[in-house]
Amino acid sequence: MIKRIAFLGCGSMGEAILSGMLASGFKPSAVIATVRRAERAQELASRYGIVAIASDEDAEANQQAVKGADVVILAVKPLGIADLCREVHSVLPPRAVVLSVAAAVSIEQMEAALPAEQPVIRAMPNTPLKVRRGVVALSAGSRASDSHVALAHEVFAGSGLVLDVPEDQQNAVSAISGSGPAYAFYLAEAMAAAGREFGLDDDTAILLARETVAGAGLMLAQPGADPAVLRRAVTSPNGTTERALATFEEQGLPGIITAGAQAAAARAAAITSELSGS
């Protein structure tokens, strides 16, 4: 069981994980978070009742935060991960599992920047963790035991679905579920824009699009829901929806979505190479 957890970096993703954990009953007194800016630290402390330290004010914020932690979450941007590992290298409790949520940073890169025996787990979460509907894929490093993996599952268990995947699938996961919430928001934006084309006012167009995507999401969230079955159930032969879907197909929308996901995965692979200096 997790007794003390440190978040090194707590922006959009760190806060999604934190809020999901707290909503599922984890105690704020067991959490310490670091960020760069003092105002962000104050915001997190007052919103969640946790201890939050700003590295702009305290150069040893990250080193302080990891003391006594059994889980250390790395949630800064990918480019900052190796530096952060080196920064806390000398003070990490040997038993602490280091759990990185950074896209594109490999386990090998983190293990190289951490003490020789430090267990490492790479995770790809998504922001619906905030509303306890996240998806997280975990890949354990060579030094992580089953009990370390269990601690990582515990971090996310109350806030979404947790899967174990081989590390070589992490870029695919990132392209589908890591970036995926943005695709769904983009769909809602595009639907609202289509509504405005019909002359709907802004508020009505965005309301229709937002509630429709959210409602469809709730239907998809039912156990065993199949998107193709749900789609067919609202598509009458020769009806209006069928005409729209046929137009999406004719104009190549499935291929466009695949191309977007492939571009996301390719970008992740390129970042991994950039970080290795190759």
Q: Which spans of this chain sit near ligand NAP (rule: CB under 6 A)? A: 8-14, 34-37, 40, 55, 62, 75-78, 80, 101-103, 124-127, 178
* Complex with ligand NAP: residue 119 or 134, whichever CB lies closer: 134
In the 8-state DSSP scheme, what is residue 118?
-
* Complex with ligand NAP: residue 129 or 205, whichever CB lies closer: 129
CB of residue 126 vs ligand NAP: minimum separation in angstroms?
Answer: 6
In the Cβ-directed half-sphere of 138, how many Cα atoms lie within 13 Å?
26
* Complex with ligand NAP: residue 217 or 255, whichever CB lies closer: 217
Q: Which residue is nearest to ligand NAP (CB)?
A: 11
* Complex with ligand NAP: residue 85 or 205, whichever CB lies closer: 85
Give the residue among 171, 101, 105 at the shortest CA–CA distance from 136: 101
Helical (H) or strand (E) element with 217: helix 202-220
* Complex with ligand NAP: residue 88 or 192, whichever CB lies closer: 88
Identify how many contiguous H helices and E strands the chain contains and give both numbers.
12, 8
* Complex with ligand NAP: residue 17 or 205, whichever CB lies closer: 17
CB of residue 106 vs ligand NAP: minimum separation in angstroms?
Answer: 13
Measured CA to CA in angstroms, residue 18 lies from 150, 198, 254 at distances of: 18, 41, 35
Q: Which residues are registered as beta bridge partners of 59?
A: none
- Its sign, for the CA torsion 249, 251, 252, 257, is negative
Q: By the 8 A CB rule, do 153 and 169 touch?
A: no
CB of residue 15 vs ligand NAP: minimum separation in angstroms?
Answer: 7
CB of residue 105 vs ligand NAP: minimum separation in angstroms?
Answer: 7
SS (HEC) of 66-112: HCCCCEEEECCCHHHHHHHHHHHCCCCCCCCEEEECCCCCCHHHHHH
